[in-house]
Structure formats: structure tokens, C-alpha cells
Amino acid sequence: MAAPSCPALLAACLALLLATAQGDGCGSFGNVFTEIAENSAHGSLVARLPAGGDAPGAPLQLCLIGHDAAWFYLDGRSLRLNASNGRALDREELESPVLMVALTCAEDGFSPVEYRIIVQVLNENDNRPHFQGASDLTHNVSELAAVHSVVFSAQAEDADGDTLMYVIDTASPDARFFRIDLPNSGKVVLARALDFESRQQLEVVVTAVEMNTRERFNASARVRVQVLDGDDQYPQFLPCAPRTHRGLTLCTSPVYTANVTEGQLQTGPLSFSPGDVYAEDGDRGLRAAITYSLLAGQESSRFHIDNMTGAITLLRAVESSRRTPAISLSIMASQVNDVTKFAVAQAVVRVLAPNRHPPRFPRSSFRAFVPAGAREAALLLTYGGHVLALRARDPDFPQGVNPQVRYSLSSSTNHSHGQHRDQHQEQGQDHSQLFQVMPNGLVVARADLLQPAQRYRLQVLARDEESGETSSTTVELEVLWPGQAEPALVPAGPCGQILPDTPQSLLPQ
């Protein structure tokens, strides 16, 4: 059994009185070199001390002293492991994997003798590798990072000191973007180019595996790669039309259009369509400042562009719309921090003659009918059996024909059933699926979707696309039964414009 401990030089000392026969006394002992596996159980045999001779002798006093003496105790002439109180012998927790204890032997009439007991703690594979920090890691990588360059390092630790090999899990979402050339280094190399505009975040799983152990313990880390924007895009005029070319999405610049009137000098910036002249850096994460300029041209000196806002103003009026019907301008937008990155868009300024009259319909309202039937397209007829054509006249043009007038159906069209119109009128319904106004002013109906005895009140708009002026007229429409006789002309009410019979070529296909 173990003797009680006694403190000596701040170390645990375990003494044992031996009353056994002694040949050489303390001289029978010597230095001990041995080993024990980590995590061994309490009381495990560490070493056996040498036995004494046959002649009787005085009792010996053995004592264990030193910094590591607390790890051991003497059980007779056996040195055993002291792992009591739940304290395990963990090689990774020790200051040194070698424990050193002094064994002192004292007998009456002699000076004490000191021996060395050196115990090497053998390593066991009792620790798994783990990545530094957390199992979810984040790294920032610029989209301009060169292919085949090291973009980040994933380092794992193994408390047992085992050799680790790093691999990329090919099942991870973006494994194709990365590879590891030196398996023992953990350095991850970029395998293909990054593009911030298409992907801002990638995800890859890196696994560290023990190479020199039977267990091959491993650990994995999920790495989220934040792709940082680099200055690799050129300015883009907005609104742009995206186009796909050889797998790439390109931004096609719009053509800006504006109108000026001959002989007039407009105050303030011109109003362009489809919007103000505006460009922004194609690198959405950088948004470099943009400067604007007009490229030299035949009529560019008539205009001034604000280099900060892109607003264009007319400096000198255009004398004649006949001699100069339109002026084409080339607008350049470039980055302030890099003028070699630029884009060019076209602006067309149309010169119009003075507009003195808006388009006008000859009547404020018309009456018409259409037979219900199986036809998908049927023209509206006037009372009298002629085709209804709605044409607005513009006195600013010869013969009153303005080629820029466009016709449309207002969404405020009303619909009623039979003779109970006042009680069942549906206000503001959109009947664009039932009726359509053609560019030549003819009104086409989906006869197959109409019900006999229905009445509609159609509002038709005429818009001058250059001046923006509009006018409207109303069509009171009645749906006839198939085969029903055409109503007689009603002289007291307004009637539609009477045209000759319309050839079949005018019908919508």
C-alpha cells in the first residue's frame, strides 16, 4: 500500500519503510528509465524497483520528490501511476512529455542516496483535428485575384501532432473555383476567374485528414468566400438593354431622343426619352464618379453638357426644320478616376416645325354596330352598313394628315347589357382584349367574344407623339345577333364617317 505523503522542497514525497532483508541497502537501487501510455488508469504499473539481498539489514526509507512526483506513488517496490481525483495523464496537457522524479533512499548510519526515475509519456491518438477559430470561416477575395494564385489558407490543428492532409470536398457548391496544390499546406488556390457582377458569394468545404494514424480522424470547415468588387467594368448608360453574346451579358446603351422647335431657344435642359442622360459605373460595389462630355460633331457646338449631371442645353436655336430635321450627338461618359474606362451613347435631337394645332376628331361621338359571330376579327360598321374609320386631322400638316398621330383605346370604356344600361353599367373596365384601334383608325372587335344585345361606350384617343397633345372621341357600339338585319341609318344622331367598302386586305390577319 502507498505510504502517506510528506512535503519536501514544495514537492510530494512518498515514503515507505522497508523491513525486508537488504544485501547492499540503498546501493541496490539505480536510475530508472521507463515509459507509460497517456490516459493509463490509476494504479497502473510504471516500474519495479530492484529487490534486496539475502542478509538482514536496517530498514530503508524511500521517498519520491520533485516537480512530477505527484504523478506516482510507491506500492512496496512497485512504482505506480497516481491518477486519482479524476486527473488523467494527458500528454497534451503536460509541460513536457517526459516526467522526471527523484528517488531518495535513506538507511541508518549512511547518507541518503538519490536516483533518477525518468518516465516518457507515450502519445495516443485521442484528439481529433480541428480548424482554428470556428467550423464556419469567411474570407474576402477580390474578383481581380489571379487564377492559380493562393487566395486563402485553411489551417487545422491536431493536439496529438499528427500529420494532416487538406482536401476540397468536390460535393461543395462552388468546389470548381478552388483547388489545393500542396496537400499538407492548407493553402487554397483559385482555379477559375471570379466575377463580382455574377456571383458575390461562394461556398466551399475544406477537410483536414490525419495521414499517419490508423483512425484517420478528420475535420471539415465550411468556407464562405465574399467576392469583392474590382474595377473591371466600364460605365453604362441607363436604361440599358441587356444582350447576351457568347455567354456574356452586355449592356447596350439606349438612344436618347428629344425635340426642339425651329427658331426657338429653349430655356433649361432638354427633356430626353427614354429618360435623362445618365450613366453609372458598371462595378456596382465601387460606383466610381462619372464625368460627361460631347464628342466633336457637325452641330455639337450648338449644345452644352453638364459634366457632372449629363444635362444637355441648347445654346443656339435651329433656324429651319427642313434643312436640319435632326441633330445627332455623341455623348461620352468616363470614370473620373480612370478616363480610359468610358462608354459612348447617341442622342438624337429632332427639330420640329412650330405646333399651332392639336389633332382633332371631326365628331365628338360616333354610332356603330358589330354582329356577334365566330370571327376573331370584325370591323365596326356605321348605321348604313359602312366601315367606321376614326381619323384625327391636324391643320399643321398638308391635307391635315399628321404621320405622328397614334390611336389608342382608353381604359375608361363602359359596358352595358341590353335595355338595362343605366342599372348594369360597368364603369372603367379595360376592354383591350375585345377591341383594338389600328394605325389607320379602323376599330377591330373580337366578335367571337361578344354577346348579342351588349352595348359598349368606347373612348378612342389620338395622340401627337411629337407634341404630346391629345384629343378623344366616343363610339356608341351595339352588338347584333348573328344574321340580324343591319339597323337603319338614324339621321337625328351622329354617324360615323362613311367609306367605300373596305377591301379584304385591310382586315387584320
- For the domain that residue 153 is a member of, what is the CATH number? 2.60.40.60
Burial 187-225 (b: 16+ CB within 10 A, else e): bbbbeeebebeeebebebbbbbbbeeeeeebebbbbbeb
Q: In angstroms, how far is the first alpha carbon of the chain from the final one?
A: 112
- The angle subtended at Cα 403 by Cα 397 and Cα 409, nearest 5°, is 120
Q: Give the contacts of 42 (CB within 8 A, at least 6 positions apart).
A: 81, 82, 83, 84
271 and 384 share one domain: no
| Side-chain half-sphere exposure of 191, counting CA atoms within 13 A | 11
List the beta bridge partners of residue 417. Answer: 454
Q: What is the pLDDT of residue 51?
A: 66
Residue 33's SS3 state is strand
- Check whether residue 96 and residue 212 sit in a common domain: no
334 and 448 assigned to the same domain: no
346 lies in the same domain as 389 = no
C-alpha to C-alpha distance for 30 and 417, rounded to whole angstroms: 122
Claim to verify: residue 300 and residue 212 sit in the same structural domain: no
Q: Which domain holds residue 14?
A: 5-122
Number of H helices, E strands in the chain: 1, 37
CB-side exposure of 283: number of CA atoms within 13 Å? 21
Q: In this structure, are 221 and 272 located in the same domain?
A: no
The grid coordinates listed for 193 are 476567374
The 10s digit of each residue's pLDDT in 435-470 is: 999 998 899 999 899 999 999 999 999 998 877 889
Pair type for strands 130-131 and 164-168: unpaired
Identify whether residues 289 and 253 lie together within a single domain: yes
Whether the CB-CB separation of 341 and 469 falls below 8 Å is answered with no
- Is the CB of residue 219 less than 8 Å from the CB of residue 127? no
Q: How far apart are CA 283 and CA 197, in angstroms?
A: 7
> Does residue 274 share a domain with residue 185?
no
For residue 438, tell me if it sits in a domain.
yes
Give the best-scoring range by mean pLDDT among 48-57, 239-248, 447-456: 447-456
Q: What is the pTM of this model?
A: 0.49
Residue range 261-308, pLDDT digits in tens: 989 998 899 999 999 999 999 888 889 999 999 999 888 999 999 999
Pairing of strands 381-382, 72-75: unpaired
Judgement on whether residues 481 and 375 belong to the same structural domain of the protein: yes
Find, among 223, 234, 111, 131, the residue nearest to 168 by Cα. Answer: 223
C-alpha closest to that of 193 among 176, 207, 169, 214 = 176
Same structural domain for residues 11 and 114? yes
Residues 79-118 pLDDT 10s: 999 987 778 888 878 888 899 999 998 887 788 889 999 9
- 8, 69 Cβ separation under 8 angstroms: no
Q: Is residue 360 one of the residues assigned to a domain?
A: no
The answer to the question of residue 358 being in a domain is no
Residue 472 lies in a domain: yes
Work out the number of other CB atoms within 10 angstroms of the CB of residue 469: 16
Domain boundary among 66, 98, 122: 122
Summarize pLDDT for 114-171 with one digit per residue, the tens: 999 999 988 888 888 988 767 788 999 999 999 999 999 988 988 888 889 999 999 9
Amino acid at 492: A
- Are 85 and 195 in the same domain? no
Whether residue 33 is contained in a domain is answered as: yes
Residue with cell string 502507498? 2
In a domain? residue 281: yes
How far apart, in Å, are the Cα atoms of 59 and each of 16, 53, 79? 10, 13, 19
Each residue's pLDDT tens digit, 457-508: 999 999 988 778 899 999 999 999 988 887 766 543 444 444 433 333 334 4
Q: Mean pLDDT score of the chain, rounded to an integer?
A: 83
- Give one DSSP letter per residue of 186-220, joined into a string: -EEEE-S---TTT-SEEEEEEEEEESSSSS--EEE
Give the CATH number for residue 60: 2.60.40.3430
Q: Which of 322, 352, 382 is the last residue of a domain?
A: 352
Residue at 359 is within a domain: no
**Residue count (the chain):** 509
- What is residue 505's DSSP assignment? G
Co-location of 246 and 287 in the same domain: yes
CA dist., res. 315 & res. 269, Å (int):
10
93 neighbors 39 (Cβ within 8 angstroms): no
Examine residue 507 and state whether it is found in any structural domain, yes or no. Answer: no
Confidence of residue 23 (pLDDT cuts 50, 70, 90): low
Residue that terminates a domain, selected from 352, 376, 392: 352
User: Number of folded domains in the chain?
Assistant: 4
> Are 343 and 253 contacting, i.e. CB atoms less than 8 angstroms apart?
yes
